[in-house]
Structure 1
């Protein structure tokens, strides 16, 4: 048993190697293939926006974990899982 705030921190720490690896993989691909013309500025803006919104989301989730429980989140995830399972079994018609 971790405390809720520690569990949130641990979940983000566990994801760091995968996220870093994906970043390295894509960067190597860009170096090998070359960056398409005119996309340098857009990539810098996108990376910056992703970093800022990711940091804000992490902080918001840590504050939420410190002051409340995750019951609503659990209900949301169960309902979402049932919807996805239903779509997988019946097809996307």
Structure 2
């Protein structure tokens, strides 16, 4: 009697965790955390897609914008992989 209720609650908590996990990945890529969190809550397959998306905005400490070609690159990059220009450290 109570077993199915507890398992449903646990399943719902895990489902909410999917949303928070996707939101944290989206935030690290400069994307909208609430939007991707809701999408992952509704469609958990999003968790398999989101890590492979490229960043769309600079994120301090992770991603920066190349001053020559305006592409988003890793913060520690010394040469832009798109335009091959040297970057300031």
* TM-score normalised by length of structure 2: 0.33
Higher relative contact order by CA 8 Å / sep ≥ 6: 1 or 2?
1
* TM-score normalised by length of structure 1: 0.32
- 1 or 2, which has the higher helix percentage? 1
- 1 or 2, which has the higher strand percentage? 2
